[in-house]
Structure 1
Amino acid sequence: MFTHRQRLTIKKSLARSAIALVLSTGLTGCATVPVPESALTFEQRDLSPQEVSEVLKSPPRSAGAKSAQYSAIPADGLALPQAGQKTPLGVVVSSDLEAAFEAYFHGRGEAALTRLAQDFDSNPDPRARWQNSLLRAQTLIMMGRAALAEEELERTSHLERAIFGSDLNALALRGEAKLWLDDYDGAFADFAHVVAALGTWELPIQYLSFPANRDVLYYATTAKLRAFTGIAGCYLFKEDYKRALAWASEAERLFNNAHFVTTHPLYGMGDQVYADSYYGRAMNLVFLASATLATTRNEKNSETLFNTAGEFFSAINFSVGHVTVGALKARILNQLGQTESALNAAKTALSLASDAKLPDYVWRIGVMTGVTLFDESRMDEAEGFLRQAQNAVDQVSGNLSSDRSRLRFGIGKDDIIHHLAQIDIQKKRWDLLFSDLEKARARAFIDLLADQALSQNRESALVAQIRDLESQILAYRLIVMAPGGADADTLAALDALAGQRQQKLDLLTKRDPEVADLITVRSVTLESVQTRLKPGEVMAYAIPGRPEDAVRFLLITPRTAFAKTLSLSYRELDDLLDRFSKAFGVSGSQRGISQVNTQVPLSSSSRQKSILNELRRVFPPDWWGAEELLYIVPSSGLYFVPWSLLETSYPVITLPTGGWVTREHAARAPSSASAVIVGDPEFGGELTQLPGAREEAIAVARLYDADTLLGADASEGKLRRAVGEGAGVLHLATHGVFDHDVPLNSAVMLSNGTDAESLTAEALFENPLPARLVVLSGCETGLGKAIAGDDLIGLTRSFFLGGANTILS
């Protein structure tokens, strides 16, 4: 139900990552459950938020509920549905559906989806189509595509209602998808609707005769087990351990009853136990063990439950399950302050994860352990775990991560740089601090650009080869995570693919380092940056911090490097910038000096003067030690400081990375025209014409003795023809639109000849406009979004990719 690619704070993200494929492959504990012959109907109705809360208080249980004797792991082994069989749900298994189950169980997601598509198109049986849709949603969750799974479950729900008169299983599985997407409220609501519909009903464990309507009660039992286990996991991650214990305890009773009936010599009647029936029970046992440990604070009380979970995982040869046990145990022991026990559990889990080549698990466990040791001032040990985490997280960045919510995925990753930076500063290792800062920034950038098409004209064939290798690596990682997948041949194949990818990346870095930076994490050395700085030039590299942390910089000169702290926190900086925004009529959510509201007079009002004076006090010109030039590599709110208003005697240039000064920009942006000037595109009434844009463009054109693209001529096609292979200056006097939610949708507004036409940041990444100097003269054009890991995504970075040395906005 939960995948290892979820995005919470480090202590919660670890727990989620540890249960990755396990629950995504199914929570059913009764793969073939015989049921009594009786009619069952389940009333579904919408619940208010108050009713949802009431349902979730405690698991419903009737006064006459019974518990079967403990059902041990069957000695006969497990099976997958076979072609020609009729499942207890009444589904006749086709050859395509059999192949899909087999591919799904062994982590071959794309193969499963292919066979499911073939089966859905060729199989008219309504029940088979419903099972197909449900398995497709489970497969998408396994592959880290929970948003697509939610879309598929709309179809599942429609098919399910037509057969059973309800959609309890689709609803329960949708709860799992929402948990993957960090939507706790949505997940709780879906689970609560299932629980409310089923009430105190549960699978009987005694029968007077062999049941005939197995499909209905198997259907109900599956939904109930899925919902109960989901609620237990949800409460565990929210650290409400008492409720997690209550729901997990009841789920284990129901799982045991279901396995008892399934394997009963009379009631089971030779039924097979399908492999997926062990996933849910094993995972619920891990939840139960974790909640027991958290509430009793006694490791012995939970050890039997952890061991039993491990036995179920071993029965299906699921190595990730054993990583799960160690990781969740370490997480709870950390919270209880039992550091040494937690450290032992984490080391065991890390060893298993490393051996199985599961970098997602390695970095989360490593960060959790490193942060705990850091808090206890065990810096050398903490650094070891944090650097292990940093190396692992580099392997799951960009296209090697299936996380589709990249702005949030950086939360746990930020803990790496936050703590490593403090260790580097404490030990005064400025070269390592610079490297760590560059790597964190690079990770954030390539995460956002994963799956993004890049320049068509810059090593496109080599990039395509790298993308193909990354797809193969991801496919093999899913196989490794599946039961029995971590065999020697598979691990060797994964190593070989990683080696081939690295060779291609080395070649790409040699040919076009900027395109390489969009795909892989790399950094230049501090010494190489210092070599490029001239006397009197300083680079101020912002050190990321939490809101309450003081703003700090790594100050770099040609000969020295050291950390220096300003007299305000990041929270205080945000407050100051908000007040600046209000004084100058700038939207708080889209701060930037280029978006000053023309209706707010830029006169020397006392309020504006006061804010500017305060900014100048916070950032005094002599604080930096620069005499000729100051490079700023910003972080968080520092991106939105109006540096040009600070009245320095030297220029201030903001850079996307510290290593930017080492690049040979001139070689990438040859100039076939001295200047290309665009102004006042024809919007056809869709947008207000930008006042003064035409006059500005004409005036600038006179300075460069250049032609202008005005009105209907200011189209993308004519602009690209004018720029050609590169321009010395590209001046755009037009509207810009900044999309705060999806920064790559930010756009420069041009014309299609009659109406407005957008040239987006995404399009510029794919097909850049090379120019040495780019001037963006219009509202919002200079804005961007500071993302986790401290990079700015917007129009400016897109033009930097095109080869710009400098961007004015």
Structure 2
Amino acid sequence: MRDRKLSLTALITLILTVSLPITNLPPLFQASQVLAQTPADRKAEADRLLNQGFEQLQTSQFTAALESGQQALIIYREIKDRQGEGRTLIFQGAAHLSLGDKARAITYLEQGLAIAKQINNQDLEKNAQVILQLAQDQNNPRKTEADRLLEQGIKQGTTGQFEAALQSLQQSLIIYRQIKDRQGEGNALGNLGLAYHFLGDYSKAIVYHQEILAIAREIKDRQGEGNALGNLGIAYQALGDYSKAIDYHQQHLVIAREIKDRRGEGNALGNLGNAYHFLGDYPKAIVYHQEILAIAREIKDRQGEGNALGNLGGIYSYLKDYRQAIDYHQQHLVIAREIKDRQGEGKALDNLGFAYSRLGDYKKAINYCQQSLAIAREIKDRRGEGNALGSLALTYENLGDYPKAIDYHQQSLAIAREIKDRFGEGQSLNNLGLAYQKSGNLTEAEKTLRPGIEVWESLRGTLGKNDSYKVSIFEEQARTYRILQEVLIAQNKTNDALEISERGRSRAFVELLTSRLSSKNIGQIPEKPTLLLLQQIAKQENATLIEYSIIYNDVKIQGKQETHESELYIWVIKPTGEVTFRKADLKPLWQKENTTLAKLVTTSRNSIGARSTAFRGIKVTYNPNAPKGKNNLKRLHELLINPIASLLSKNSSDRIIFIPQSSLFLVPFAALQDADGKYLIEKHTILTSPSIQVLDLTHKQRQRIGTQPIQGKDTLIVGNPTMPFVAPKIGETPQQLIPLPGAEREAIAISKLLKTEPLIGKKATEATVVKRLPQARFIHLATHGIFDDIQGLNSGIALTPSGKDDGLLTASEILDLKLNAELVILSACDTGRGRLTGDGVIGLSRSLISAGVPSVLVSLWSVPDAPTSLLMTEFYQNLQKSQDKAQALRQAMLTTMKNNPNPVDWAAFTLIGEAE
């Protein structure tokens, strides 16, 4: 943990030099020079002496500082310079305080304070009061006790004793508040925030950092404000909210540069580099770390230099450029040893061990990890010790020495539990379970992985109702669910594996929906998905449910460890409750076809002309003779449909609901082709859902809202608003989106069909639409769609700007609405897209369902204007005849397909949620 406290001398010097600037000082006089006789020269001499005293105080030459100050005081009094006299008296008080002479210090400070009040110099008065308070505090036993507890808590935190650290810090906080010491209170709060951060309780960490931020702003502590902003950024980064993290780090950077805090500037740049690293923007991350490296070298901050080198090494390891990574980590190691930074030395050694392990040089890897372990034990760094043990375990696992790997994982687990590091405990249980699995001990693997899942779920429970936090943190946890599925399948426990598959997806979504459907309006914990519940949902939906789970494995390729897709698990649940398990081998994709499932999905979409863009209306060219597109759609059919084809109903009106995962959310299931070239939509009625349990909740939403024939009076139709300005990418200049005359024609045609008035052009303001959304039962928005695949919640629908509105209705804004619509249709580009996570797609569709909508129709790519207008008109005509939305969509696709055979023209839309 990091202590924000300055030493007494540094704090006093900072106050005096910042608030009492001495400008245009002449060079130091030689001792042999005769003192100038004019008042101006006498003042210059006094200023020189006082400035000399400042320098002496900074270098702990206290006696010399007092002598310089006394000479300056004599001159200021002689020339009757009251401001200079007051300033020097305060300086003398500060110097005596540094020497421990509190009584004399208080005398000088009280005299200086009196002069400051007489001449009405508020800055001088404030400085006198601050230093006088410091002097008085040193006589306060309560303050002494609080300081002792704070120091104790910091020491306990640095040695991994987080529970003890929390206790000490909380006690210090109580005292600081009792004696109204705002600076001490801020220090205690900051360190409490860091302690909770290390414990993985990021929600509490944020609360404490927000409190210290408020205090720093109240007492105008700009450096403290910057540090608090930086720590908030780190906490949000740990939660995966990189947008907020970057915002806080940028604010810290501005303050650091404003107050010329070069070390703080470096910290902010380093944190920005880490944020962009996690976002996958490695070039930008490298630039930021190179900047901090330059600053650290300029200000001769050797520790900062070492940290920057270590971070650069981490990026190159992630890029699998292990040789470059090793070079940076070696430089870090040299610096850490030079400045005797034992903790930094241990980290550098651990990182070197990881890099050599990935290169297959296990002997070197073990040597470095052993050195790291020895240092951690020597300096009593329990967290570092646990990390080193974990690294050793993974290296022995790669060597196939599972007994040793298991032993080291068990030791790492014991430390995590001892220091109450719940996140570390979850990681250790995951890794230990994997080692048991590789060793063939499936029973122990299952016994280990199940508690691991309980740890992850308890951690998510600490985040309260914050949906975005839960989504982000789940990304770190999904692997445990996948490994346990493998272990269960290997034991032929296919139904148990289905429960874990369902439990490992959309949990934040399920919790959010459950809470919103609760009449108590509190955070309700949903029931865990049992086989019986899943069977009941299939019966309730009167549909065949198909759930996919992608399994990954580590493999050695030319001596290096790589992670690849290995198998696709598929469960089919019929309306009768019958459950069947099948699987597809994904290894040939990368072993023989030089691709992956994710790449295959992308190339399938690209080859039919499907493009993802923020702008609808782009003309798409298509070569009907291009075999590549058809073959890709067939290849996807082979993997996703062929293993289960015999289990599907022959009746085309019977519903199939696909539960995708990861890249499979981008699959146009309707356009998958069998060996005879027949599209899946020609044989089946298709829907999708992020999880089976979400289906149960959308069913409850439909029951709450009810169903009725579509009518114009209940409908909100928007077409071709006056387009807003939107930045193509973060940081770029906003551009106005192009008009959509086809969307306008579509809205008018549907409005005539339903006998209602659409909102077109200037009438379609964001304010008007938001006001009408809660009352509408059917909502149709024909406009531009913007998707955000980094944060997800920034995805949006383009409307007409008005007043303070920017004209972009985002997923984040929709999430806060309460809607009563039976169906929402987003007739725009990429409205079914967003950030792909273990919790499903974070974007517009998820927000609409969360806001209360049971059925959402969205697109998977940039839809062409004219065919989309035809498809939508057909859809509404079909919907007027039948309340089955899935059948209405199927028939509209089949009709559109006749004149527009390319799947890009008719297969983009997918219905999520309820069919009826």
> With structure 1 as the length reference, what TM-score do the two structures score?
0.63
The structural deviation recorded for 1:342 is: 3.7
Q: CA deviation at 1:138?
A: 5.6
The residue aligned with 2:305 is 227
How has the CA–CA distance of structure 1 residues 583 and 116 changed in structure 2, closer, same or farther, with 3 Å as cutoff?
A: closer
Distance verdict in 2 for CA 1:233–1:793, change over 3 Å: closer
**Residue type of the alignment partner of 1:700:** I
2:810 is equivalent to residue 760 of structure 1: yes
Q: Which among 691, 697, 701 is matched to residue 657 of structure 1? A: 691
The correspondence for 1:553, drawn from 556, 567, 570, is 570
Structure 1 match to 2:118: none
Does 1:626 pair with 2:649? yes
Tell me if the contact between 1:669 and 1:772 (Cα under 8 Å) persists in the aligned partners.
Answer: yes
| Structure 1 unaligned spans of 5+ | 1-21, 38-76, 83-93, 199-219, 256-279, 464-503, 510-521
**1:615, distance to aligned residue in structure 2 (A):** 5.8
The counterpart of 1:668, out of the listed 693, 699, 704, is 704
Alignment of 1:673-688 (within 5 A): 674=711, 675-683=714-722, 686-688=736-738
In the superposition, relative to structure 1, how do residues 104 and 611 fare at CA in structure 2: closer, same or farther (>3 Å)? closer
Match of 2:17 in 1: none
Residue 282 (structure 1) shift: 4.0
Q: Do the aligned partners of residues 242 and 443 (structure 1) sit closer, same or farther apart at CA in structure 2, a change above 3 Å counting?
A: farther
Counterpart CA distance in 2 for 1:284 and 1:643 is 53
Matched, 1:505 2:524: yes
Change in 2 beyond 3 A, CA 1:692/1:179: closer
Decide which structure has the larger Cα Rg and report it.
2
Q: Distance in 2 between the 1:438 and 1:629 partners? A: 20
* Deviation digits for residues 102-159 of structure 1 (CA, Å, limit 9, x no counterpart): 3333447655664565456546xxxx75477457646764786764563354246436
Write the mapping of 1:341-352 to structure 2, written as runs, cut at 5 A: 341-352=404-415
1:725, 1:770 within 8 Å by CA — same for their partners in 2? yes
Mapped contact 1:310–1:325 kept (Cα < 8 A) = no
> After superposition, what is the alpha-carbon deviation per residue over 1:298-329, rounded to whole angstroms, capped at 9, x for unaligned?
9899778745534534xxxx765664564455
Q: Compared with structure 1, are the counterparts of its residues 623 and 26 closer, same or farther at alpha carbon in structure 2 (3 Å cutoff)?
A: farther
Match of 1:533 among 523, 533, 538: 538
- The reply to whether residue 101 of structure 1 matches residue 173 of structure 2 is no
The letter for the 2-side match of 1:189 is Q
Deviation at 1:419, TM superposition (A): 1.6
The Cα shift of 1:654 comes to: 0.9
Shifted more, 762-771 versus 148-157: the winner is 148-157
Whole-Å Cα distance in 1 between the matches of residues 232 and 342 of structure 2?
19
Secondary structure of 1:396's match?
helix
Matched, 1:636 2:670: no
Q: 1:701 to 1:398 in 2, by over 3 A?
A: farther
Matched-pair contact (CA < 8 Å) for 1:529–1:658: yes
Partners of 1:329 and 1:27 lie apart in 2 by 36
Q: Is the 8 A contact 1:286 1:309 kept in 2?
A: no
- Secondary structure of 1:441's partner? coil
Kept after mapping to 1: 8 A contact 2:269/2:288 = yes
Aligned sequence identity (%)? 18
Partners of 1:768 and 1:802 within 8 A in 2 = yes
Would you say 1:385 and 2:448 are equivalent positions? yes
The CA distance in 2 between the partners of 1:745 and 1:195, in whole Å, is: 36
**C-alpha deviation, 1:253, in angstroms:** 4.6
- After TM superposition, list the pairs within 5 Å mapping 1:400-479 onto structure 2: 400=463, 412-443=476-507, 462-463=521-522
> Secondary structure of 2:186's partner?
helix
1:121-140 matches, within 5 Å, as 122=219, 130=223, 133-134=226-227, 137=230
| Alignment partners' CA distance in 2, 1:554 and 1:676 | 38
Matching of residues 247-396 of structure 1 within 5 Å: 247-248=332-333, 250-255=335-340, 281-282=342-343, 284-285=345-346, 287-288=348-349, 306=373, 309-310=376-377, 312-313=379-380, 320=383, 323-324=386-387, 326-331=389-394, 333-334=396-397, 338-396=401-459
Does the CA contact (< 8 Å) of 2:796 and 2:844 recur in 1? Answer: yes
| Matching residue's letter, 2:184 | E
Counterpart AA for 2:257: H
Q: Counterparts of 2:148 and 2:264 in 1: how far apart (Å)?
A: 23
Q: Secondary structure at the match of 1:102?
A: helix
Distance 1:251 1:321, change over 3 A: closer
Could you tell me how far apart the structure 2 residues matched to 1:178 and 1:459 are? 42
Give the 3-state SS of the residue equivalent to 1:248 in structure 2: helix
Amino acid at match of 1:397: R
Aligned to 1:759, the other structure's residue is in SS state: strand
2:592 aligned with 1:542, yes or no? no
What are the superposed Cα offsets for residues 573-618 of structure 1, whole Å, 9 maximum, x if unpaired?
545544443444321578xxx9795543697877766666666666
Change in Cα spacing, 1:288 to 1:35, as seen in structure 2 (3 Å) is farther
What secondary structure sits across from 1:397 in the alignment? helix
* Aligned residue number for residue 581 of structure 1: 605
Aligned residue for 1:740, secondary structure, equals coil
Match of 2:621 in 1: 600
Alignment of 1:738 with 2:738, yes or no, is no
Instruction: Go from structure 1 to structure 2 and tell me whether the alpha carbon gap of 1:715 and 1:118 turns closer, same or farther (over 3 Å shift).
Output: closer
Cα pair distance change 1:170/1:529, threshold 3 Å: same
**TM-score, length of structure 2 as denominator length:** 0.56
Distance 1:309 1:739 in 2: 42
2: distance between equivalents of 1:26 and 1:328? Answer: 31
- Residue 583 of structure 2: SS of its match in structure 1? strand
| CA-CA distance at 1:766 after TM superposition | 1.0
For the residues of structure 2 that align with 1:415 and 1:134, how far apart are their CA atoms? 34
Question: Is the 2:845–2:856 Cα contact (8 Å) retained in structure 1?
Answer: yes
Q: 2: distance between equivalents of 1:299 and 1:457?
A: 51
Residues 430 and 170 (structure 1), Cα distance of their counterparts in 2 relative to 1, 3 Å cut? same
The whole-number CA distance in structure 1 between the counterparts of 2:396 and 2:6 is 29
Q: CA deviation at 1:562?
A: 2.7
The one-letter code sitting in structure 2 at the alignment partner of 1:372 is A
Higher relative contact order (CA 8 A, sep 6+): 1
Distance 2:6 2:375 in 1: 17
Q: Using a 3 Å threshold, how does the CA distance of structure 1 residues 284 and 708 change in structure 2: closer, same or farther? A: same
Instruction: Indicate the SS of the match to 2:459.
Output: coil
Q: CA RMSD in A?
A: 5.0
Distance in 1 (alpha carbons) for counterparts of 2:585 and 2:396: 38
Residue identity in the other structure for 1:442: S
- Letter paired with 1:371: L
In the alignment, the residues of structure 2 paired with residue 751 and residue 250 of structure 1 have an alpha-carbon distance, to the nearest angstrom, of 57
Q: CA offsets, 1:3-45, max 9 Å, x none? A: xxxxxxxxxxxxxxxxxxx4x669999x9999899xxxxxxxx
